[in-house]
Amino acid sequence: MSVQERKQRERAERERLIVATARELAEQQGWDAVTTRRLAERIEYSQPVLYSHFRGKREIIGAVALEGATEMAAAIRAATAAADGPRARVTALARTYLDFAAHNPAVYDALFQLDGGLAFAHEDTPEPLKDAFAALLESLGEVAGDGVHPGVFTETFWAALHGLATLTRAGRLPPEYAGQRVELLVDRLAVV
Amino acid sequence: MSVQERKQRERAERERLIVATARELAEQQGWDAVTTRRLAERIEYSQPVLYSHFRGKREIIGAVALEGATEMAAAIRAATAAADGPRARVTALARTYLDFAAHNPAVYDALFQLDGGLAFAHEDTPEPLKDAFAALLESLGEVAGDGVHPGVFTETFWAALHGLATLTRAGRLPPEYAGQRVELLVDRLAVV
DNA sequence: GAGTCGATCCTAGCATCGCTAGACAACGGA
DNA sequence: TCCGTTGTCTAGCGATGCTAGGATCGACTC
């Protein structure tokens, strides 16, 4: 028993190492630089070891995405809990969301830009993803306004944030007016 | 003279063929399927011919993007011109934008998801891109509301549409309430 | 404590990718 | 008719994700 347990522990530890290394490498040099060879070299194992943990590169991206979703949900809950009143909560949520995207671009890509093989908007959606959406819903649901479904409102607000995050990072939007755009979004969309 | 002109014409024609074929292949099977080999085979030339027209695959994607930007600008102008009043124009714009993204996913990817090597939000931005943004600005500028810069308003509205387009297509948003989300966006963001 | 057997890991290789060098052919101008 | 330029192709490079097969190591059995 003890031997098997130890091996299982070591396996789990190595899996964490793979995910953490992939994330680190992606944040440092972008996802293009995360090749199976480089990743294997960094964890000091041979390439095929990766495939004994994950079905392929997609699944590794997916693992990074799930990790990121958990962190993002926590960050949003922390920020909104510290804010007073619905309006302040929405502002804090928007800022935190965009900050997370800006400071963890590789994780954000893994979540929403790359194919991590994850299911969305289904019952078989992984728990961290559902929970991240729930974190958004908690603060956004209360400012949906009359006659608007809280879920639909949250989806729309989220989409707007997602658009800002991706277009800004891709250099499609000049960064100068980022603050004004967030303000505009909160002022107009949220019913306080 | 005539000989050179003919050759130039043929070259331009082949360049159009390359871009059109790349676009067609991307729409049919996704950009992953657009390899230089497959593309070369479809246009019935060898691989290196592509590189006598474009510096690489990125530039081909960029060419498809520019073509798409022109079409999108035209579609938006046509839709808004046919609408009566600011509110109707904004609704038409939003619908048209999302329809374009839904019906030309590969082109939309070339424009905003993939790296086509294009500059954005600078003075050296290609004309079609600037013009597409101008088309948005024409109808959105008039509903920015007091004290909000039309350009910043357009950027924000555009980002929201972009978020809806990408998240919907990636399966991140259930398609059932697409209409409600657009309605919500127009109702709240636009000042009519 | 020795032998066997299974799990674990690595070397080597496949098909495919974007891209390029160098050989070859075809065509226009003298 | 010959030459030279221009254009095109064949072949190949390095790198990618992924996999088959053999080798090695360690844990149980007698």
Instruction: Give the whole-angstrom CA distance, residue B192 versus residue B188.
Output: 10
In 3D space, the residue among A18, A42, A47, A22 whose CA is nearest the CA of residue A34 turns out to be A22
Query: Is pLDDT of A1 > 60?
Result: no
Q: A25 with A68, same domain?
A: no
Q: How many CB pairs under 8 A join A and B?
A: 102
**Structure confidence by residue, pLDDT tens digits, A47-90:** 999 999 999 999 999 999 999 999 999 999 999 999 999 999 99
**Which nucleotide in the DNA or RNA is closest to residue A1, CA to C1'?**
D27
Asked whether residue A102 is domain-assigned, the answer is yes
CB A151 within 8 A of CB A137: yes
> Residue A122 has what pLDDT?
81
**Which nucleotide in the DNA or RNA is closest to residue B32, CA to C1'?**
C17
Distance A35 CA to D16 C1' (A): 8
Percent of chain B with pLDDT over 90: 90
Q: A32 with A71, same domain?
A: no
Q: A30 with A121, same domain?
A: no
Residue in chain B closest to A147 (alpha carbons) equals: B184
Asked whether residue A145 is domain-assigned, the answer is yes
What average pLDDT does range B130-136 have in this prediction? Answer: 97
Q: A77 with A34, same domain?
A: no
Q: A124 with A175, same domain?
A: yes
Of the candidates A152, A153, A160, the beta carbon closest to that of B160 is on A160
Q: B88 with B144, same domain?
A: yes
**The CATH number of the domain where A18 resides is what?**
1.10.10
Q: B93 with B160, same domain?
A: yes
Asked whether residue A19 is domain-assigned, the answer is yes
pLDDT classification of B2: cutoffs 50, 70, 90: low
**Structure confidence by residue, pLDDT tens digits, A141-187:** 999 999 999 999 999 999 999 999 999 999 999 999 999 999 999 99
Asked whether residue A18 is domain-assigned, the answer is yes
Asked if the C-beta of A94 comes within 8 angstroms of chain B's C-beta atoms, the answer is no
**C-alpha B127: how far from chain center:** 13
Q: For tokens 């209409």, what's the residue?
A: B179
Q: A77 with A23, same domain?
A: no
Asked whether residue A76 is domain-assigned, the answer is yes
* Tally of domains in chain A: 2
Query: Is pLDDT of B169 > 70?
Result: yes
Instruction: Give the whole-angstrom CA distance, residue A119 versus residue B173.
Output: 11
Q: Is A107 exposed, middle or buried (0-12, 13-18, 19+ CB in 10 A)?
A: buried
- Residues in B touching A162 (Cβ below 8 Å): 163, 166-167
Percent of chain A with pLDDT over 90: 90
Instruction: Give the whole-angstrom CA distance, residue B98 versus residue B85.
Output: 20
In 3D space, the residue among B28, B150, B29, B168 whose CA is nearest the CA of residue B98 turns out to be B168
Instruction: Give the whole-angstrom CA distance, residue A97 versus residue A140.
Output: 13
Asked whether residue A2 is domain-assigned, the answer is yes
Question: Which residues in window 31-90 of A are less than 7 A from strand D by Cβ?
Answer: 34-38, 47-48, 51, 56-58
What average pLDDT does range B103-112 have in this prediction? Answer: 98
Give backbone dihedrals phi and psi of B52, rounded to 5 degrees, phi first. Answer: -85, -10
**The CATH number of the domain where A135 resides is what?**
1.10.357.10
* Strand C nucleotides, any atom under 7 Å to a protein CB: 7-13, 16-22, 28-29
* Strand D nucleotides, any atom under 7 Å to a protein CB: 6-12, 15-21, 27-28
Asked whether residue A58 is domain-assigned, the answer is no
Q: B12 with B65, same domain?
A: no
Q: B9 with B63, same domain?
A: no
Instruction: Give the whole-angstrom CA distance, residue A17 versus residue A42.
Output: 10
Evaluate the CA torsion angle B42, B43, B49, B54 in order and state its sign.
negative
Distance A119 CA to C11 C1' (A): 36
Q: For tokens 């510096």, what's the residue?
A: B55
Probe site for chain A from B98, B115, B155 (most A CB atoms < 10 A) = B155
B124: containing domain: 57-189
Asked if the C-beta of B178 comes within 8 angstroms of chain A's C-beta atoms, the answer is no
What average pLDDT does range B4-15 have in this prediction? Answer: 83
pLDDT classification of B9: cutoffs 50, 70, 90: confident
Query: Is pLDDT of B121 > 80?
Result: no
Asked whether residue A59 is domain-assigned, the answer is no
The terminus-to-terminus CA distance of chain A in angstroms comes to 58
- Residues in B touching A167 (Cβ below 8 Å): 112, 155, 158-159, 162
pLDDT classification of B20: cutoffs 50, 70, 90: very high
**Structure confidence by residue, pLDDT tens digits, A97-131:** 999 999 999 999 999 999 998 888 788 899 999 99
Probe site for chain B from A173, A177, A191 (most B CB atoms < 10 A) = A173
Residue in chain B closest to A148 (alpha carbons) equals: B184
> Residue B145 has what pLDDT?
96
Q: Is A151 exposed, middle or buried (0-12, 13-18, 19+ CB in 10 A)?
A: middle
CB A166 within 8 A of CB A113: yes
Q: A112 with A166, same domain?
A: yes
pLDDT classification of A2: cutoffs 50, 70, 90: low
In 3D space, the residue among A182, A191, A186 whose CA is nearest the CA of residue A141 turns out to be A191
Q: B68 with B137, same domain?
A: yes
Query: Is pLDDT of B144 > 60?
Result: yes
Q: For tokens 């124009």, what's the residue?
A: B89
- Angle in degrees, CA B68, B72, B73, rounded to 5: 120
Q: Is B73 exposed, middle or buried (0-12, 13-18, 19+ CB in 10 A)?
A: buried
Tokens linked to B19: 């871009």
